[in-house]
């Protein structure tokens, strides 16, 4: 246990703790470090790019209920005894284990103005002219959300599937004998039994949504304008492109507080229910 | 109670080990040890191994032969990791002595005073050997942050078979920016394919057009002047007419569009040919190239910088001068199909000889663009923002003057901070 703890201490806890004092400095790796008090935090709240990035990250939370509902629906569907169910389970899980970069590149081809999606939509007369999905400030963020959902569904589906398979068969059988409908069984038995999984998946999903990085990093670099700039991407750019690690640490702390707030909200909401 | 004590003890041991491990990490430099009078120069390049091992092994042997007390320790890193590696090495006082940087990294590191002033170490002859637009680009407040090395000059690749199919003449290609824009719109109308592929970024659009991007010491962005507004409006029209694709046109995307014959002409560097030579041989056979018809050929240059923390600055600059001298640049151009940054090298007959191949045409077209070459470095922390906001104006048809004023105001505020 100690080696594992040691690795965590060096690579997780130490950087985590060290980022707190760092947020009050102008540390840039290559220059001298000075204490700057609350300057980084004051700068953050007047930084229009960071505010825009935070708004986008919070808007990304919209995908949480969507991704959870789709995952749950797939889990229920794939919990049936039918032929080839294992193949479907594997197929749905496949996007999860595929590299985000590879997935993003393929999606960028599909979504390009001369890509397959435009061809299909034009061919079926759904669109009258091509849309540059990732270059349009009205569609770009929604497209990224869609890709995140597509990639994440399989992960949560597996957790829900495990939860469904641990529900004792006697409960549903007894309900059926009492003439409960499938819908009643789902809402009155399965959902309450899945509560631990729902809470965990919602929490993880909220955290992942707010700190989303890969998709905008690979596909749009945050553009056009600030339309797909997320807080994590902005923090990365400040730290690793501007070498402004002090400011990046301050932004990370603000983001952590926001994630904590959303996580507590999800937890309390589920506890009340 | 016992449990609490036990937990405290485990925590203390863990922290002790952590701190101990950190102490071990701060080992002294291994690359810069002096063994008697012998100096070891650590030389970092970007993505050149193993393709060019033979060239560099000979180059290093020649330098070591002429300087018997010097050993060159050559390391090569991928483009994506070299910056992080350099940062950590500087932070841990383990900086390399000569490092391959692009213009943006040079400017960013220079801004943090992390690079030594080349002008204190190199001769006037060396200074004057480079093209002014390339050497001067990384000079800030009379401080030369790095020596130019090899460069890439943009040219225009044209798929002539697509033009012939649409009955468009394959001679008298555009020689000015205005002619090229009109030509691209005309090509779009006649072929229903994109006429051109230039990325919506500050260098390709504004830099090529000769619009001043920064003031001399890079403290002020200048892209909201009337000439910039005119160029952006011109490009808005190109996007509105679908003459230029509304995409993030990195090299891969350009190659994908060109290989699949969705675009007739592409603005790119001399090595772009490698992206379609084997994957789309029919495109290769029907391609011709012309020099860029713009005010400037905006180069993508590799520089050689010496970190200020190097303990062997004098020898490091001597080696950097050697690597970037006209003779060695000529050899490297022949080996790697790059374009040199030294004036004397480009006078070599090699850059005028043609064996009729596309590669020869590329070499000649690129070399002819060197006279109007200009490197336009943009500090990395504002590069992404400016390009994102430019894309927004161009792709989403925003008000140009208002948009550029906003970019300038926000970026200049950042530059002052």
What is the mean predicted confidence (pLDDT) over B306-317?
Answer: 94
Nearest alpha-carbon partner for B292 in B153, B152, B103: B153
Closest Cβ opposite residue B385 in set A30, A49, A136: A49
> Residue B402 above 90 pLDDT?
yes
Residue B369, min C-alpha distance to chain A (Å): 31
Q: What is the pLDDT of residue A113?
A: 81
Q: What is the pLDDT of residue B25?
A: 37
Each residue's pLDDT tens digit, A140-176: 999 999 999 999 999 999 999 999 999 998 998 999 9
What is the mean predicted confidence (pLDDT) over A179-202?
Answer: 90
Each residue's pLDDT tens digit, B71-88: 999 999 998 889 888 988
> Residue B4 above 80 pLDDT?
no
Element (H, E) at B42: strand B39-46
Tell me if B411 sits within 8 A of B249, measured CB to CB: no
Give SS3 for B197.
coil
Tell me if B310 sits within 8 A of B387, measured CB to CB: no
Stretch 140-179 of chain B: residues touching chain A, C-beta under 8 Å: none
Is A55 buried (19+), middle (13-18) or exposed (0-12) by CB count in 10 A? Answer: middle
Q: What is the pLDDT of residue A273?
A: 63
User: Contacts of residue A219 in chain B, CB cutoff 8 Å?
Assistant: 248
Q: What is the pLDDT of residue B13?
A: 42
Residue ranges and CATH numbers for the domains of chain B are 39-152+300-351 (3.40.190.10), 155-299+367-416 (3.40.190.10)
Cα–Cα distances in angstroms (integers) from residue A58 to residues A55, A164, B237, in the given order: 5, 30, 35
Euclidean distance between CA atoms B320 and B324, whole angstroms: 6
- Read off the pLDDT band of B11 (50, 70, 90): very low
Q: What is the largest distance, in Å, between two alpha-carbon atoms of chain A?
A: 75
> Residue B415 above 90 pLDDT?
no
In this prediction the ipTM stands at: 0.81
What is the mean predicted confidence (pLDDT) over B1-14?
Answer: 45
Q: What is the pLDDT of residue B271?
A: 85
Euclidean distance between CA atoms B341 and B301, whole angstroms: 8
Each residue's pLDDT tens digit, B29-69: 434 444 557 899 999 999 999 989 999 999 999 999 999 99
Place of tokens 């499938």: A182
Domain spans in chain A, listed from the N-terminal domain onward = 26-272
Q: Does B108 touch chain A (CB under 8 A)?
A: yes
Give SS3 for B304.
strand
Is B203 buried (19+), middle (13-18) or exposed (0-12) by CB count in 10 A? Answer: buried
Q: What is the pLDDT of residue B369?
A: 86
Both structure tokens of B82: 């070299």
For CA atoms B302, B307, B310, B314, give the dihedral sign. positive
The DSSP secondary structure of B343-403, one letter per residue, reads HHHHTSGGGT---SSHHHHHHHHHHHTGGGEEE----HHHHHHHHHHHHHHHHTT--HHHH
Place of tokens 């999903």: A205
Q: Does B48 touch chain A (CB under 8 A)?
A: no
Q: What is the mean pLDDT of chain B?
A: 88
Tell me if A249 sits within 8 A of A22, measured CB to CB: yes
Each residue's pLDDT tens digit, A12-26: 898 889 999 999 999
Q: Which CATH number fits domain A26-272: 3.50.50.60, 3.30.1330.10, 1.10.3720.10, 3.30.70.1380?
A: 1.10.3720.10
pTM: 0.83
What is the mean predicted confidence (pLDDT) over B94-106?
Answer: 93
Each residue's pLDDT tens digit, B215-260: 888 889 999 999 999 999 999 999 999 999 998 898 888 998 999 9
Cβ separation B245–A112 shorter than 8 A: yes
């Amino acid at each position: 246990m100690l080696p594992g703890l040691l690795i965590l201490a060096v690579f997780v806890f130490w950087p985590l703790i060290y980022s707190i004092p760092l947020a009050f400095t102008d540390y840039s790796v290559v220059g001298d470090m000075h204490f700057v008090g609350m300057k980084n935090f004051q700068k953050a709240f007047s930084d229009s790019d960071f505010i825009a990035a935070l708004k986008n990250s919070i808007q990304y939370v919209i995908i949480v209920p969507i991704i959870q509902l789709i995952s749950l629906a797939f889990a229920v569907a794939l919990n049936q005894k039918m032929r080839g169910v294992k193949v479907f389970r594997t197929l749905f899980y496949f996007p999860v284990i595929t590299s985000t970069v590879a997935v993003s590149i393929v999606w960028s081809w599909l979504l390009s103005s001369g890509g397959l999606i435009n061809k299909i939509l034009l061919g079926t007369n759904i669109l009258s002219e091509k849309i540059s999905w990732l270059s349009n400030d009205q569609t770009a963020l929604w497209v990224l959300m869609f890709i995140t959902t597509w990639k994440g569904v399989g992960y949560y589906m597996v957790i829900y599937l495990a939860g469904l398979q641990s529900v004792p068969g006697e409960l549903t059988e007894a309900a059926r004998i009492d003439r409960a409908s499938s819908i009643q069984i789902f809402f009155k038995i399965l959902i309450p039994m899945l509560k631990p999984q729902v809470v965990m998946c919602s929490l993880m999903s909220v955290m992942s949504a707010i700190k989303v990085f890969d998709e905008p990093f690979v596909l749009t670099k945050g553009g056009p304008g600030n339309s797909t700039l997320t807080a994590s991407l902005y923090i990365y750019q400040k730290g690793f492109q501007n070498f402004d690690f002090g400011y990046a640490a301050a932004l990370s702390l603000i983001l952590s507080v926001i994630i904590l707030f959303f996580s507590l909200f999800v937890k309390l909401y589920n506890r009340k229910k | 109670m016992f449990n609490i004590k036990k937990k405290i003890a485990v925590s203390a041991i863990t922290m002790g080990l952590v701190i101990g491990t950190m102490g071990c990490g701060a080992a002294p430099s291994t690359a810069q040890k002096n063994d008697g009078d012998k100096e070891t120069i650590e030389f970092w390049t970007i993505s050149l191994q193993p393709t060019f091992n033979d060239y560099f092994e000979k180059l290093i042997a020649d330098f070591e032969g002429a300087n018997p007390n010097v050993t060159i320790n050559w390391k090569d890193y991928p483009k994506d990791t070299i910056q992080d590696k350099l940062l950590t090495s500087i932070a841990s006082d383990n900086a390399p002595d000569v490092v391959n940087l692009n213009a943006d990294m040079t400017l960013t590191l220079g801004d943090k005073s992390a690079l030594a002033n080349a002008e204190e170490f190199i001769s006037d002859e060396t200074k004057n050997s480079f093209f002014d637009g390339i050497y001067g680009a990384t000079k800030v407040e009379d401080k030369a942050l790095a020596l130019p090395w090899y460069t890439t000059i943009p040219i225009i690749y044209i798929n002539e078979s697509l033009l012939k199919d649409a009955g468009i003449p394959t001679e008298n290609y555009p020689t000015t920016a205005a002619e090229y824009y009109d030509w691209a719109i005309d090509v779009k109308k006649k072929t229903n394919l994109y006429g051109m592929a230039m990325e919506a970024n500050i260098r390709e659009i504004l830099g090529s057009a000769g619009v001043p991007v920064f003031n001399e010491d890079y403290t002020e962005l200048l892209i909201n002047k009337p000439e910039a507004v005119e160029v952006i409006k011109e490009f808005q029209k190109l996007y509105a007419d679908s003459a230029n694709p509304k995409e993030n046109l990195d090299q891969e995307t350009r190659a994908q569009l060109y290989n699949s014959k969705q675009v007739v002409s592409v603005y790119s560097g001399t090595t772009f040919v490698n992206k379609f030579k084997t994957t789309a041989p029919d495109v290769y056979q029907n391609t011709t190239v012309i020099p860029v018809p713009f005010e400037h050929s905006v180069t993508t240059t590799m520089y050689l910088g010496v970190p200020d923390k190097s303990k062997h600055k004098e020898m490091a600059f001597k080696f950097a001068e050697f690597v970037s001298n006209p003779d060695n640049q000529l050899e490297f151009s022949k080996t790697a199909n790059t374009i040199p940054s030294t004036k004397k090298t480009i006078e070599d007959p090699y850059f005028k000889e043609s064996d009729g191949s596309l590669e020869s045409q590329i070499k000649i077209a690129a070399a002819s663009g060197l006279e109007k070459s200009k490197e336009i470095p943009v500090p990395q922390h504002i590069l992404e923002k400016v390009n994102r906001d430019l894309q927004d104006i161009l792709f989403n048809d925003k008000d140009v003057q208002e948009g550029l004023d906003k970019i300038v105001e926000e970026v200049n505020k950042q530059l002052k901070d």
